[in-house]
Amino acid sequence: MKKRTSTLSIPCLTKNAMTVLERRYLRRDVDGNTLETPAHMFRRVANSIAAADQVFDEKANIVNLSEQFYDMMTALEFLPNSPTLMNAGRELGQLSACFVLPVGDSMEEIFDAVKFTALIHKSGGGTGFSFSRLRPANDVVMTTTGISSGPISFMRVFDVATETIKQGGTRRGANMGILRVDHPDIMDFIMCKADKSQLNNFNISVGLTEGFMSAVENDENYELINPRNGQAAGTQNARKVFNRIIVQAWENGEPGIIFLDRLNRDNPTPHVGMIESTNPCGEQPLLPYESCNLGSINLGKMVKDGAINWKRLKEVIPLAVHFLDNVVEVNKYPLPQIAQMTFGNRKIGLGVMGWADMLIMLGIPYDSEEAVGLAQQTMKFIKDQGHAASRELARKRGAFPNFKNSLYDKRGEPPIRNATVTTIAPTGTISIIANASSGVEPIFAVSYIRQVMDDDILVEVHPYFEKTAKEKGFFTPELMQRIAEHGSLQDMDEIPPDIRTLFVTAHDISPEVHIGMQAAFQKYTDNAVSKTVNFANGATVDDVAKVYRLAYQSDCKGVTIYRDGSRDKQVLSTGKSEETTSPGGVDGERKVVKRERPKVLKGWTYQMQTGCGPLYVTVNQDETGLFELFTTMGKAGGCAASQSEAIGRMVSLAWRSGIQARQVIKQLQGISCHCPSGFGENKILSCADAVAKAIQSHMAANGFGSVHKKVALARGACPDCGGIVEHEGGCAVCRLCGYSECA
């Protein structure tokens, strides 16, 4: 066992990685003070996961195994999913990211699922549901002689419950909602997120069948089925429904599509149950009450001297499989049903991140046939080695309990420890920790602008591009700024053509290339591949239709698309604005749409003692965040009252236009007048200072870490740091601070 001089620091962690770890992963005390370093976190995780070996062998050398796990993680060669990093070795102990819960067609079953959802979100997991068992709206309810309100109304109940729960204080709730295409309410489901204020804690996908896709190709009608009795409930024209899905996806990126028959074609345990749903980002099909823990190998760390280091990759794969199987063992499951189902199949999901980094290091353009061929070769190697490692574990520990009559058993294959081994997940925040490109996505931007406090502008540059630009002698801060403003290298003549070809971004690549890469990885992935197909803002509905059909023809298991700006009220910060977002603006101006005031708002009033007398500050908020502020002076009037009213009006306008509360506080706090009030922490310097302190009190009392998260995300900027938001796998992630819309 190698000796190490220090376990207090990990030199390869970047500043962004440290920010993410400190804000979201490291253990804290009740006052929010950090209690561990990243090295301590990895040691905690390694020790906890290695300890599972003693379940199978009392004489197991868990010290040596822990050291191997620690070295693999601190070298950033492999990282498990976020709940494992956060919770392993801690009291909560819930280590899985993915869960699927059944939703039955009765009030008892529906609200049991709501309760179970709350418990899972509290423990740090995300949930997937199929609402296809629920009878349609306006259907008969025999027990009350009333009528059903339908699946969408109950989805809103789950959405509200999710909004209420803070995931273990570190992760917000995320859901996947799926409805079969043959459900009578399918058209309403397709449109359920057209109102962007609804169901914001859900990704939605339509569950398509082979029969439906055949009807689309032949422009035929297909039958709708009432799940209450299994009887026909009318017909729909398949092409009309398919086109409605496409138009809505073009509008705002949802719904995605899931090919249900393909999920069940590859379901390893059909004798246990049918797959109805996936986790929130769509890559992990699961049976009802099943969970899965994921982890990703950093392919950027598997390159040596300009070639793939197959030897090291072959060493890391079995170690990662061993790690993930141990996670199944030590996990503290939120429900006994989930523990039973998970132990029965022992599914794990080993995937990758840093794929785009690997290609750049090898000098292979992402949008080349060579890259697609290498994707198949690499994933086949991972799958073959992963299955071999799982079979070796089965030899020592036994096959997963439901192995008999599984697909493996029926094909006469040797026993295997895990019913599934490979999954390609969106790696979100763990790829920030690893300083790697996300999943199998291309790089999102070569250079981009980050707006921070006080409106300071920082230019962030992709590290490999910066290194290359300096080596080739064309690096200048001014050029990096222009690239960030331009958004692409492709028509910048001062950059060598071979560099422009190599550093293609998500928006440089055609949708067909995105699908081709997804299909290449899917061919050798047990579960599914999380991948976002990026479209330019000017893409047409026909472009989206072509990709949806291509995903089906390429044997993908689902597809998620995002048309640039389709959810934004302001363009992303990787290029100059090309269109106005509010009526009447000058072309190219960056306009912000002011939120309309609803008829009813909830609020709190705070009494602040100023030198002019008591100031009553009322803060109102809507479902998005802080909305407006009113002030009332006690018995004083004149200048103090009018100035306070003016402050309230300007603060309200700022909030309704998307300005964050901390920016308002920064502008008002500390302003002094001739007549301060109070002493020490209670000292109020002026009416403006009183307003700032009232806002601070309100935020502290109502759990606002930062406000206007939904508005900021809609505008394409991170609500926490002002950085760029990337759309990946049905989620939005900031690679600067780790903020994630769905996990």
Burial 276-309 (b: 16+ CB within 10 A, else e): bbbbbbbbbbbbbbbbbbbbbbbbbbbbeeeebe
Find out whether 222 and 182 touch, Cβ atoms under 8 Å.
Answer: yes
pLDDT of 575 reads: 45
What does the pLDDT average to over 75-104? Answer: 96
The C-alpha angle 247, 424, 81, rounded to 5 degrees, equals: 115
Active site residues: 279, 281, 283
Q: In the chain, pLDDT over 70 holds for what percent of residues?
A: 87
Task: State the maximum Cα–Cα separation within the chain, in Å, rounded to a whole number.
Answer: 89
Each residue's pLDDT tens digit, 421-475? 999 999 988 999 999 999 999 998 898 776 544 445 567 788 899 999 999 999 9
Query: How far is residue 123's CA from residue 458's CA, in Å, rounded to a whole number?
Result: 36
pLDDT band at 1 (very low <50, low <70, confident <90, very high): very low
Burial label, 381 (beta-carbon count in 10 A; 0-12, 13-18, 19+): middle
CATH code for the part of the protein at 15-94+287-433: 3.20.70.20
136 secondary structure, DSSP code: P
User: Averaged over 560-569, what is the pLDDT?
Assistant: 78
Given its phi and psi angles, is residue 176 left (phi above 0), alpha (psi -120 to 50 degrees) or beta?
beta
Residue type at 100?
V
SS3 235: strand
More confident residue, 149 or 389: 389
Least Cα distance to 389 among 302, 321, 485 occurs for: 321
Which structure tokens are listed for 86? 């956060």
Q: Which of the four pLDDT bands, split at 50, 70 and 90, describes residue 585?
A: very low
Average per-residue pLDDT for the chain: 87
- Asked whether the beta carbons of 539 and 568 are under 8 A apart, the reply is no
| Greatest mean pLDDT among 187-201, 382-396, 566-580 | 382-396
Both tokens assigned to 507: 């928006």
In angstroms, rounded to a whole number, what is the distance separating the alpha carbons of residues 684 and 670? 9
Listing DSSP states for 355-402 in one string gives HHHHHHHHT--TTSHHHHHHHHHHHHHHHHHHHHHHHHHHHHH---TT
Res 22 pLDDT > 70: yes
Tell me the per-residue pLDDT of 24-59, one tens digit each, with 9 for 90 and over. 899 999 888 999 999 999 999 999 999 999 999 999
Say which amino acid occupies 441.
E
At residue 553, φ and ψ (nearest 5 deg) are -70, -25
Return d(Cα 146, Cα 144) in angstroms, integer. 5
> What residues does each domain of the chain span?
15-94+287-433, 123-278, 445-504, 602-712
Residue predicted with more confidence, 141 or 345: 345
User: Does residue 664 carry a pLDDT above 70?
Assistant: yes
Q: Are strands 348-353 and 291-298 parallel, antiparallel or unpaired?
A: parallel
Using the structure block, give the residue that is written with the tokens 């801690």.
90
Mean pLDDT of 529-547: 93
Tell me the C-alpha distance between 659 and 695, whole Å.
14
Measured between alpha carbons, how far is 138 from 71 in angstroms, rounded to an integer? Answer: 59
Q: Alpha-carbon distance 696 to 405, whole Å?
A: 60
Q: Two tokens at 144?
A: 């009350």
Q: List phi, psi (to 5°) of 164.
A: -80, -30
**Ranges 262-266, 395-399, 506-510: which has the least confidence:** 506-510
Q: Where residue 742 falls among pLDDT bands split at 50, 70, 90?
A: low
Read off the pLDDT of each residue in 643-650 and give the average, rounded to a whole number. 88
Amino acid at 200: N
Q: Which of 248-257, 594-603, 691-700 has the lowest mean pLDDT?
A: 594-603
Mean pLDDT of 356-372: 97
- Residue with the bigger pLDDT between 716 and 454: it is 716
What is the crossing angle of helices 238-252 and 210-217, to 10°? 100
pLDDT bucket at 681, cuts 50 / 70 / 90: low
Chain centroid offset of residue 246 CA? 22
Neighbouring CB atoms inside 10 A of 162's CB total: 23
Q: Which phi and psi angles does 566 have, rounded to 5°? A: -70, -20
Give the pLDDT of residue 454: 43
Looking at the predicted structure, is the pLDDT value of residue 133 above 50?
yes
Using a 10 angstrom Cβ sphere, with 0-12 exposed, 13-18 middle and 19 or more buried, the burial of residue 489 is buried
φ/ψ of residue 68, rounded to 5: -65, -45
Confirm if 143 and 108 have CB atoms less than 8 A apart: no
Cα–Cα distance between 451 and 458 in angstroms, integer? Answer: 6
CA within 13 Å, CB half, 195:
7
Tens of pLDDT, residues 84-94? 999 999 999 99
Q: What percent of the chain has pLDDT over 90?
A: 63
Give the pLDDT band (50/70/90) at residue 637.
low
